[in-house]
Amino acid sequence: MATPDATARTPDAPPVADAPPTADAPPTAGAPPTPDVTWHPRPADGPALPEPWPQRHLVLRTPRLELRPDDDASLLELVALVHDGIHPASTMPFQQAWTDAEPAYLGRGMLQYFWSERAAVSPERWSLHLVVRHDGAVAGIQSLTASRFGVLREVATGSYLGRRFQGRGLGTEMRAAVLAFAFDHLGAVSARSEYLEGSVASRRISERLGYRDDGTARIAPRDEPVVQQRVVLDRSGFTRPAWTLQVDGYTPDLAGLLAAAPPA
């Protein structure tokens, strides 16, 4: 009785990639024979490899700022900036009190947060945490996030600046940058944001750029209730800046990852 061949492929097994043609010519004396190898994964055809992380080439430029997706080197600079202070200790502008962490753990917690965000990126739910540079130095972060963007066409934003960069119009400029990117390149139709009661600069930025109020919530980042104001901006309501956003690195691969409109 014939024993089953353990190495035989079952009918359900996926087809193996085409084997390279074997050389018919007899091997030249001294040269090793060409090995008959089928590589797995199959080498990509053509000169360009598939891009595994298409957002790494993205750059948004405004008159004073450059915004690029986070990488480890820029996050380490961001950690140093945060240790230098981003808000008075008496106030908590964030809905999660992450800046209250013990200084010994704050930096690691920040890195782990951004890594977890990177690890979860997909067309279903993505985040672009754009590190903001002013004159080459990390000044803060401007986040642009979305869930089911391909269906909803809506983004959300959040941001902060190091204390020495605040109050110079940079917060307005970086928010306007990601809104222009979202509306004019990704094909967003609306953008959401929120701020806590007393965050005057955040409120002014939202008012200036055309957002309208969209309700409130009670939250307790420091275990005391505070009112969170939600705001929303429709594409048609965007009060555009006088400058034009420069965008590099918005590729078809990145558009696919974000479930967004293809580059013009």
Ligand X SMILES: CC(C)(COP(=O)(O)OP(=O)(O)OC[C@H]1O[C@@H](n2cnc3c(N)ncnc32)[C@H](O)[C@@H]1OP(=O)(O)O)[C@@H](O)C(=O)NCCC(=O)NCCS
Tell me the closest approach of the beta carbon of residue 204 to ligand X, in angstroms: 3
Tell me the closest approach of the beta carbon of residue 99 to ligand X, in angstroms: 9
Q: Which is nearer to ligand X, 169 or 237 (CB)?
A: 169
Sites for ligand X among residues 137-166 (CB under 6 A): 159-161, 166
Of positions 54, 69, 93, 221, contacts ligand X by CB under 6 A: 93
Tell me the closest approach of the beta carbon of residue 51 to ligand X, in angstroms: 31
**Cross-strand partners of 86:** none
Whether the ω angle into residue 41 lies within 30 degrees of 0, i.e. cis, is yes
Tokens 């590190």 map to which residue? 131
Give me the 183-222 binding string for ligand X, x by CB under 6 A, dash otherwise: ------------x---xxxx-xx--x--------------
Half-sphere exposure of 102 (CA within 13 A, CB side): 2
What Å distances lie between residue 114 and 40, 70, 138, 141, CA to CA? 32, 8, 16, 11
Give me the 62-91 binding string for ligand X, x by CB under 6 A, dash otherwise: ------------------------xx----
What Å distances lie between residue 126 and 148, 155, 201, 255, 256, CA to CA? 9, 10, 27, 12, 12
Cα 180 from Cα 253, distance rounded (Å): 20
Contact status: 242 vs ligand X (CB under 6 A): no
Tell me the closest approach of the beta carbon of residue 73 to ligand X, in angstroms: 22
Of positions 98, 111, 113, 172, contacts ligand X by CB under 6 A: 172
The answer to whether the CB of 144 falls within 8 A of the CB of 131 is no
The answer to whether the CB of 162 falls within 8 A of the CB of 139 is yes
Q: Which residue is nearest to ligand X (CB)?
A: 171
Tell me the closest approach of the beta carbon of residue 194 to ligand X, in angstroms: 7
Q: Which residues bind ligand X (CB under 6 A)?
A: 86-87, 93-94, 159-161, 166-172, 195, 199-202, 204-205, 208
